[in-house]
Every structure is written in C-alpha cells, then in structure tokens.
Amino acid sequence: MLVLTLKERPHVPLEAEVLTPDRLAGLSHAEVRALPILRGKRQLRLDDVFEVEGDGGEEVELRGDLGRVKLIGRGMTRGRVVIRGNAGMHLGAHMAGGTIEVEGNTSDWVGAEMRGGLIRISGDAGGQVGAAYRGSPTGMSGGAILIGGTAGLEIGMRMRRGVIAVRGRVRDFAGLQMKGGTIVLGSGAELRTGAWMTRGTIVSLGPLRLMPTFAYACAYNPVFVGLYAKYLEPLGVALPSAATQGSYQRYTGDTAVPGKGELLLWRPAG
C-alpha cells in the first residue's frame, strides 16, 4: 500500500488533486514521488512535501495534519483513501465511487457535488458538505457522507440524492434549497434548517429552530426510517425508528418556494 506522510504543515495551502486512486493506481514509487503538487503559485514534486513509502495502487494512506491540503480524492471513482489526520477543502468533491476515511477533521466542501461512493469522517467537518458550488443548480447526487463530529454551514445545499449523516450539531442552513436525498442530524442544528427546500428529507434527533414557512403535518413512524436505520447502522449511525422508542413529528415546507420537503423531528416516548 502507498503511504504518504506530510513532512510539515504547509504555511500556505497545497493543491493535491493528484491524490486519488485513479491517478495513483499503477504508478511506480518513483512516478508517485514526481507527481505535481501546487503550493500557492509554485509547483513542487510530491516528495518535496510528502515522505513516500510503497508504490501507487488502489489504496493510499495519508498521514499528518493535512488540514491545509486541498482537493484530495477529487473526482475519484474507485479505491480507498485513508487519512490519519485532518484533511483540507474539497475532499472527495465530484467523487463517483470508492471510499475516503478521515480520522481527524476536515475543512469545507467535503463531497461537494458528489455522485457516488462513501466518505466517512471521524471528527468535525466544515461547511458545504455535499453542497453545490456557487451558481450550480445541483449539489450531491449520490453516495453517502458520514460525519462523527460536528459540521458547519449549508450542508447538503441543493443536494438531489444520497445521504449525509452528522452525529454532532450542525450550523445554519442545513439542507438549504434541498431537492432530494436525506440528511440525518444526530444532534440537531442551529438556524434555518431546510430553508427553501423543494424536496428531500431531513431527519433530526436533536432540536431544530424551525423556519416560519414550515407547517406541522403529523406525528408518526415512517417505514422508510426503519429501512434507513438498517442501512446506516453498519456505518455507525444509530437511527431510532421503533414506536416503543418514540415517533417523528413531520413538518412540511418550505412554503416560500413553495416546496414539498419534510423535516422529521424525533420525539422520544415518555
């Protein structure tokens, strides 16, 4: 397996879109070392900034505080990227397949406009998880992004399909202009969840501040939540669904659009 260890935390961000299994597979050790990395406006060799062990392959492990290393896994379609540390912006953006695992925290734009595959982050993520880039009509359209810690603003902005699950609290605008797919909020969110959504489902196990343009519909235990729970459990996300445990309050909106999205707020029994 290929192991790249960051020599030192860069003083300005690095752009490392070469760090995908697609690009690395089949490369020799020397070829990996010669790959281009951008530091600001200067081009470096990969081995200027990383210690390199092994040859290129379908799996790569990155070690160190890569919080300033951007574009890792961008557009990847296969293979596995493991980061033992933090990761920078645009991790797994436009990804279509494969797996990314991060032991630390990530910056903004994780899985932006993602089409497939799995991203799992143990720590905190930044904002715009699975979101559309500015001006684009659509964000994430497939795949799954699982976050063990907190996340920032505008997660799932304009997403169309796929699932984002965050165990910790998220900030404002989760599910902004959502068009489809599912967001699971393990600890609720700050303001403006589901603002301007047209379709899609936001499941929240923690408190939300509702927009004035959402209306209470009913309390129930939707069947699909049970199915989702089975899908998410092996991925480490516990989603309550049994009527004995409680029920979900359903709110529909956003009437400002007008939209047919739903918020499901968990109410434990008793």
Partner 1 sequence: MGGKVSCTLGEVKNRADFLVYWGGNPAECHPRHFTKYALMPKGKFVPRGRKDRTMVLVDIRETPSVRAADLFLQIKPTKDFEAITALRAIVKGERVDPAIVAETGLTVEQLTDLADRMKKAKFGVFFFGMGLSMTRGKHMNSAALLTLAAELNAFTKFVAMPMRGHGNVTGGDVILRWTTGYPFGVNLARGYPRFNPGEFSTIDLLVRGDCDAALILGADPGATMPQPAIDHLARIPTIVLDPKVTHTSRLSRVHFTTAATGISAPGTVYRMDEIPLPLRPALKSPYPTDEEVIRRIYQAVAAKPPLAPPDVPPLAILGR
Partner 2 sequence: MLCCKDPRQAGGYLKGCRLAAKSQLRITGGRVYDPANGIDGEVRDVCLADGKIVAEVDGGRTLDATGMVVFPGGVDVHTHVAGAALNFARAMIPEDHRGNAPFVRSPGRRSGIGGATPTTYVTGYLYAGLGYTTVNEAAVPILSARHTHEELRDTPIVDKSCCVLMANHEILLDLIEKGEIERARHVAAWNIWAAKAYGVKAVNPGGVAAWKWGKDAKGLFETVPGYTTLTPAKIIQALAGIVDGLGLPHALHLHCNNLGAPGNVGTTLETMKVLEGNRAHLAHLQYHAYGGDDWYTMRSESARLAAAFKANKNLTCDAGVVLFGNTVTITADGPWQHLLYKLTGKKWGNIDVENETGCGIVPYVYKEKNLVNAVQWATGLELLLLIDDPWRIFLTTDHPNGAPFWRYPEIVQLLMDAEFRREQLKKLPAKAQGRIVLPDLTRQYTLYEIAIITSAGPARALGLPDKGHLGVGADADVAIFNAGTDYARMFAYPRYVLKAGEVVIEEGEIRNAHEGKGLLVRPAYDASVEEFIRPLFQQHYTVAFDNYPVELERIEHPEVLPCSSSP
Please tell me whether residue 212 binds partner 2 under the rule CB under 8 A.
Answer: no
Q: Provide the mask over 115-134, with x wherever binding to partner 2 is found by CB under 8 A and - wherever it is not.
A: ------------------xx
Residue 22's binding partner among partner 1, partner 2, none (Cβ under 5 to 8 angstroms by kind) is none
Please tell me whether residue 42 binds partner 2 under the rule CB under 8 A.
Answer: no
Q: Which is closer to partner 2, CB of 66 or CB of 159?
A: 159
Please tell me whether residue 207 binds partner 1 under the rule CB under 8 A.
Answer: no
Select the residue interacting with partner 1 from 89, 129, 145, 166 (CB under 8 A).
89
Interface positions, 128-167, toward partner 1 (CB under 8 A): 128, 133-134, 136-137
Q: Which is closer to partner 2, CB of 93 or CB of 151?
A: 93
Contact indicator for 72, 91 with CB cutoff of 8 Å: yes
Positions touching partner 1 (CB under 8 A) are 11-13, 15, 17, 36, 38, 40-43, 68, 71, 74-75, 89, 93-94, 108-109, 113, 127-128, 133-134, 136-137, 172-173, 176-177, 191-192, 195-196, 210-215, 254-258
